[in-house]
Structure formats: structure tokens, C-alpha cells
Amino acid sequence: MSKLDNRLRSLKIKRGEKMRKPIIAGNWKMHNTLFESGEMLKELLPLVNKSSVEVIICPNYTSLTEIFKLLKGSNIKLGAQNMHYEEKGAYTGEVSPVFLKEIGVDYIILGHSERRKIFGEIDVIINKKIKAALKHNLSPILCVGETLEEREKDITYEIIKKQIEYCLEGLKDTNLDKLVVAYEPVWAIGTGKTATKEDANDVISFIRRLLSEYINKKMADKTRILYGGSVKPNNIKELMEMGEIDGALVGGASLKANDFAKIINY
């Protein structure tokens, strides 16, 4: 970063502005039927049409096409929650990046802790998925985070380092402009417990240093790194005040139009 960039950065931080355009993404997980998704969106859209952040909604697969139509003309982008790394083939039950791109998906959550824990997804597979997403012009939202046990053993930074290292393996010379990272401590997901804003900021700053080391500083400075784990209307503001936190990946609170709108309009 040049001296001028640095001065600009501290000025912006003083004014509470963000260096990178914030992202607020809603992960609807396996909730909302097609009908419920539509009803929720009808409520949400008028509440967030003046938002200055990038808003992403990640509904289930069966709602994607319909939601894409409902989002037309709005400022909200469409994301999916998982995908396979192959384009096509005998992979029963899987969804290809090509199919997602075809129906207007822009973002793809990869490596969510529920995928890791319940479906046994491991870093090498997530790495293949990231490569496939980038190849098909999808923006991966790579999730990393430690479990409670790992935090108590004081190995949070070790775990994050390993996840980033493995998930981004072989990507050094790739254009990573599209990459988004989400720091989601597993113990904070769906539990009502949030990391302190300082802890979240510190881990995110560590992730940025890792990106700088593994890829390069320019890319690390540009990459949006979100916090996720029990983000609610009453804690979003303090999280967003932290210099390193570029947004939030929201689960439970993104299912209620009013709550999600409050988070988006923090």
C-alpha cells in the first residue's frame, strides 16, 4: 500500500467508512419452502432497496430459479449453499457449477462447518470446489473456523492457518478477485453465542495476513472477510465498526425479513 493509500485508509477508518464494500449474506440453510421464500422476499425487498452494502441471499436449490426471477431489478445477488466440483457426470444427487451459473447464481458458500461436520467435507475437497467455482466465474464464500474444543485448547490460529492453507492450495497464480472468506467460529453458529468483536477482528486480521503470505498483499487488502455466527440486529453494528470485519454471513436472523433488513441497514 502506498503512503497515499495508507493516509486514505486511516481517514476512512476515522470516519467509520469501510475500505472494502461490505457484504451481508443470508444463508437460509434447509429452511423456507418455495412459497415461504417468495413471501419472505416480498417483505424484505422494500426494506432494503436503499442499502449501500452488497446483499446476497443463499436459498435452497429448489428455490434458486424462482428467487432469481424475484430478485430481478433489485440490488440483491443470488448465492447457493454448496456444489460439486465436476461440471457433469455420474454423481447422483450433486449439483454442478455449470448448472448454478446457468440459472443466475453469483456466489457459492463453500466449506460451511455444517458441510464439514455433518457431511464429512474436508479441505482438499473444498479446495477443488473453490477452483471449480472460480473457473465458472462464481464467487466462492470460503468458510473457516474453529470448534469449541479447538478454541479451548488454544489452537484457533493453528486451525485457521491449516484451513486457509489447504483450501487455497495451488491458487497462488490464479485471479482471486472473486474470493470472499467468512470466519465462522463453529461454537458461535446457531448458538446465540457471538465471538467478541475484538476476537473476531483479530482472527480476521490473521486471515488477511495469511492471504498476503500465500497469495499476495494486494489481493489480501482487497478480499472481503466476513464474520459469521449468531449475528443479530443487536450486534451487527459493533461488529461492523471493527476495521477488519467486512460484513456478515447470517443464518437464523436472515430468515426473518425484519431482522435481516435491520442487519443489512445496520
Map the footprint of ligand PGA across residues 14-53, applying CB under 6 A. Answer: 27
Helix (H, G, I), strand (E, B) or coil at 234: coil
Q: Active-site residue 112, yes or no?
A: yes
Beta carbon nearer to ligand PGA, 48 or 109? 109
The answer to whether residue 190 forms part of the interface with ligand PGA (CB under 6 A) is yes
CA gap 140, 72 in Å, rounded: 22
Distance CA(217)–CA(33), nearest Å, equals 42
Beta bridge partners of 9: none
As a whole number of angstroms, the distance between CA 69 and CA 66 comes to 5
Candidate segments 55-63, 82-90, 219-227, 246-254, binder of ligand PGA by CB under 6 A: 246-254
Contact flag: residue 82 with ligand PGA (CB under 6 A) = no
When binding is defined by CB under 6 A, the residue of 22, 79, 111, 228 that contacts ligand PGA is 228
Radius of gyration, CA atoms only, the chain = 18
- The sign one gets for the Cα dihedral 216, 131, 104, 107 is negative
Beta-carbon contacts of residue 201 (< 8 Å; ≥ 6 apart): 242, 243, 244, 245
Of 23 and 253, CB closest to ligand PGA = 253
144 is an interface residue for ligand PGA by CB under 6 A:
no
For residue 113, the minimal CB distance to ligand PGA (Å) is: 7
| The C-alpha cell that represents 37 in the structure block | 421464500
Catalytic residue among 114, 146, 150, 184: 184
Distance in Å, CB of 226 to ligand PGA, minimum? 9
Task: Give the angle subtended at the CA of 222 by the CAs of 101 and 95, to the nearest 5°.
Answer: 20
Q: Which stretch binds ligand PGA (CB under 6 A): 11-19, 129-137, 158-166, 227-235?
A: 227-235
- Beta carbon of residue 24, minimum distance to ligand PGA (angstroms, whole number): 12
- Is residue 231 a contact residue for ligand PGA (CB under 6 A)? yes
Find the helix or strand (DSSP H, E) in which 119 lies: helix 113-119
Catalytic residues: 112, 184
The contact set with ligand PGA (CB under 6 A) reads 27, 184, 189-190, 228-231, 249-253
